[in-house]
Amino acid sequence: MPATLWVDEAERAMTHPDILIVGAGVAGLSLATALGGEGFRVTVIDGAKRPSAPTADRGIADWDLRVSALTPASIDFLRRLGAWSAIPGDRTGCYTGMKVWDGRGSGRIGFDASEVNAPYLGHIVENRLTLQALLQCAETCPGVEVRWECAMEDMTLTDSGWEIHSEDGSTFCAPLTVGADGARSRVREWAGMPTRDWSYEQSAIVGT
């Protein structure tokens, strides 16, 4: 009986956390780790499979083409979470300048680290390395649970907060629900939050 009670209590803590985060990307995992470090019980759900760890190989196919430019402030945040040290240093590259220009007109702007007396403006990092580092931190952070292959099916507002039903039959409810599920957020849509969007009718090439 005690073992059964413990399992039930553990499951309830997972399905009725202080904070529920929908989306286990960089935003969702970093927020979960930060909140877990402050003592909150956090559950993260995502419909995708758990991403496998990147290989240590150096072939051209082993590098992720999706990268992000992380500013010193972002790096400091990752460092406080313990994630920055988990990213291999030889897979990051600092950048000291950035130039943006309009291919059809004369508009252009440039940034240089020397203008702010800094050694660099930031680091270029593969997205999957940042994600893997944050996942390691989240999974080892007390109070944080990450559930993969747990896609949101619908959500309803109750007196206790948003109640979310997943496709695997689980039900989650928390006083605070965070939608970290991307630009086409289903949480935002189902919560009835209005948005405005439009096309700039432009495309761009990014070189790093």
pLDDT one-digit tens code per residue, 49-95 = 999 877 766 666 677 889 999 999 999 999 999 999 999 998 899 99
The sheet with strand 161-166 has its strands ordered as 152-158, 161-166, 171-174
Domains of the chain: 2-51+63-190 (3.50.50.60)
For residue 10, give Cα distances in angstroms to 6, 14, 81, 195, 208: 6, 6, 25, 37, 46
* Region 130-156 average pLDDT: 96
Picking from 69, 53, 18, 201, the residue whose alpha carbon sits closest to that of residue 136 is 53
Residue 170 banded pLDDT, cuts 50, 70, 90: very high
pLDDT, residue 7, reads: 45
pLDDT, residue 65, reads: 84
Q: φ and ψ at 163, to 5 degrees?
A: -100, 125
Q: Calculate the average pLDDT of the chain.
A: 89
* Region 26-35 average pLDDT: 98
Picking from 115, 117, 75, the residue whose alpha carbon sits closest to that of residue 94 is 75
